[in-house]
Structure 1
Amino acid sequence: MSGPILPIEPRVAVLVDCDNTTPEILEYALRVVAQFGRVVLRRGYGNHSTLAKTWQEALVRQAFTPCLQYQYAAGKNTADIALALDALEAMFDQRADKFCIVTSDSDFAYLCRKLRERGATVCIVGESKTPEALRNASDQFFEWVAPVSADSEQSGTKAIHEKTEQPKPATIKRRPRFVVEAVALLAGNTSEGQVHLSSLGQYLKRTDPGFSPANYGHSGLLDMLKTYDLLALKKGDGGHYTVGLRSLAANVTNGASANSPTHVSALIAEVEE
């Protein structure tokens, strides 16, 4: 007797232009691509100065393969060519059918068009400086908004004091900010402004294989979501729950843009880290 036929999960390649962006963008890029499928390729491209200094810790922590490219002549960026060739090779070898290129360099616009011509899906994760030529060459563009350094320092200092002076017991229920970010990302492009709990749970597992509501003092994902003031839960006829941002759902009803970086950042700023 043959077993059930499991659906084929899309395979995603995340290729990072380390010479053209900052390490802080990496975690955001992985959260974005987790909604598209399983990440099978993680590679960061750059020269010796870039990979050995600013990017080393981030690439090691996120299990990326560093692809070192020496500059054969001053002013020549060989890392771009290596990234483009590896992307085409991965597509022709059928190792990946979806590509996330992390860069703000418009030189990759032609690569995006060639990948899409061959049937691949391409998204770009970049900064606000990303040119329109690159944005329009991709299937979807995700803009990374750098956190305010002053707020980050205050948050980091507060966290250090809390851990040093009065560490919280493991039983205290906590509300991590990334859950709100996940709901905003998944529900933002839907007409109802809602995402099914099962889809949200799968996404959270993809972004962090060790994720469990129990780690934050909750008995389950539903119990965890009920503690968020910004999240609205809705129970369907079959007993299945969906969740969305309260402000997001209101903006979708009014026809406004609810998933812009500025709007989402304003909402998640009210949630603890």
Structure 2
Amino acid sequence: MANNHHSDHESRVAVLVDCDNTTPEILEYALRVVAQFGRVVLRRGYGNHNTLANKWQEALVKLAFTPCLQYQYAAGKNTSDIALALDAMEALFDRRADTFCLVTSDSDFAYLCRKLRERGATVHIVGEAKSPDALRNASDQFFEWVRPEPAAVAQPKGPSKTEVVKPDPAKPAPKLRPMFVVDAVALLAADTSEGKVSVGGLGSYLKRADPSFSPKVYGHSGLLDMLKTYELLKVQQEAGGHWTVRLTN
């Protein structure tokens, strides 16, 4: 089964972040979401000096974003909004990007979304629950980020611990089953009529979401071998010989 997000022409995605209006914790979620739509070619974070030099610096460096510093020339004026909007339109006209992901909860960007879509671009928004309807409805798809409960993060054992465990090369690698693989299948299969995704399409998505991803790190010879160990997933070989995977429930 072909994943309906993929075609011969792979979309070029620009991820533009309104750092003054949202939190750094949203960024990894945004990248996981947009990895299904194509190759991320632009990663930029816009904000004033106070925002970029403090809470956002670590997240932007870790996730390879270019910081776009905007000085506040007058109190109460948000120059970052204008810089983000101009860069988005320029990237569209230069054909550097045809899909845009705006990370913001600010309704001021609704007009930019409409202009981009009028020109044929696809626009996704990743925002918080506070995002107004005017912003949500201006996009092709709105993804709401929910802040994780502190209690869930503090648990000593769980999927988050499993994900970061890397085996000692001197010992036989344990077969680990990180939860993000199940999350990826759920995300990709949700947009399909049959509720399943090709194993090849899943592999491409996982690589885009995390360029260092490899089943061998988790003790598996390959992705198909890895998927077969999950109780939450069901893999099957289709008539054409290719493999697909779906959630068991």
Fold equivalence (TM over 0.5) = yes
Any idea what the Cα deviations from partners look like across 1:26-60, whole Å, max 9, x if unmatched? 11111111111111110000111111111100000
The structure, 1 or 2, with the larger RCO (C-alpha pairs under 8 Å, 6+ apart) is 2
Residues 155 and 117 of structure 1: is their aligned pair in 2 closer, same or farther, counting only changes over 3 Å?
Answer: farther
Instruction: Output aligned runs, 1:106-145, within 5 Å.
Output: 106-145=107-146
Q: What is the CA-CA distance between 1:170 and the residue it aligns to? A: 6.0
Question: What is the aligned counterpart of 2:245 among 238, 243, 246?
Answer: 243
Task: Choose from 191, 196, 202 the match for 2:193.
Answer: 191
Query: 1:20 matched to which residue of 2?
Result: 21
**1:47 equivalent in alignment to 2:32:** no
- Bigger shift: residues 235-244 or 101-110: 235-244
State the one-letter code of the partner of 1:45: Y
Question: Which one of the candidate residues 178, 186, 200 is aligned to 2:202?
Answer: 200
Is residue 60 of structure 2 the alignment partner of residue 79 of structure 1?
A: no
Alpha carbons 1:170, 1:215 under 8 Å: kept: no
Q: Identity of counterpart residues, as a percentage?
A: 73
Q: Secondary structure at the match of 2:67?
A: strand
- What per-residue deviation string (whole Å, max 9, x for no partner) do you get for residues 122-158 of structure 1? 0001111111111110011111121111110224899
- Do structure 1's residue 10 and structure 2's residue 43 form an aligned pair? no
Partners of 1:246 and 1:81 in 2: how far apart?
46
Could you tell me which of 198, 209, 212 is aligned with 2:211?
209
Q: Within 2, Cα distance between the matches of 1:16 and 1:105?
A: 11
Alignment of 1:29-68 (within 5 A): 29-68=30-69
55-64 vs 222-231, which moves further: 222-231
| Aligned partner letter, 1:180 | V
Per-residue CA deviation, residues 2-34 of structure 1 (Å, 9 max, x unaligned), is xxxx94321110000011111111111111111
Structure 1 gaps of 5+ residues are 1-5, 248-273
Q: Which amino acid aligns with 2:247?
A: L
2:220, 2:234 → 1: CA distance?
18
1:173 paired to 2:175: yes
Whole-angstrom CA distance in 2 between matches of 1:170 and 1:137: 51
Q: Which amino acid aligns with 2:105?
A: S
Q: Which residue of 1 aligns with 2:71?
A: 70
User: RMSD across aligned C-alpha pairs, in angstroms?
Assistant: 2.3
Partner of 1:98: 99
Give the distance between the partners of 1:237 and 1:58, measured in 2 at CA: 44
Helix, strand or coil at the partner of 2:68 = strand
Q: Distance in 2 between matches of 1:43 and 1:218?
A: 35
What's the TM-score once normalised by structure 2's chain length? 0.90
Residue of structure 2 in register with 1:152 after alignment: 153
Query: What is the letter of the counterpart of residue 221 of structure 2?
Result: S
SS class of match (1:43) = strand
Aligned to 2:4: none
Secondary structure at the counterpart of residue 54 of structure 1: coil
**Deviating 4+ runs (over 6 angstroms):** none
Question: Bigger shift: 223-232 or 117-126?
Answer: 223-232
8 A Cα contact 1:106 1:134, kept in partner: yes
- Cα distance, 1:156–1:85 mapped onto 2, change above 3 Å: farther
Give the SS at the match of 2:244: strand
Aligned residues: 239
Q: What is the distance in 1 between the residues matched to 2:157 and 2:221?
A: 28
TM-score, with length taken from structure 1 = 0.82
- The letter for the 1-side match of 2:220 is H
Cα deviation, residue 239, structure 1:
2.5
Deviation per CA, 1:61-94: give whole Å up to 9, x if none.
Answer: 1110000111111121111111011101111111
Distance in 2 (alpha carbons) for counterparts of 1:148 and 1:110: 33
Residue type of the alignment partner of 1:100: C
Structure 2 segments unaligned to the other structure (5+ residues): 1-6
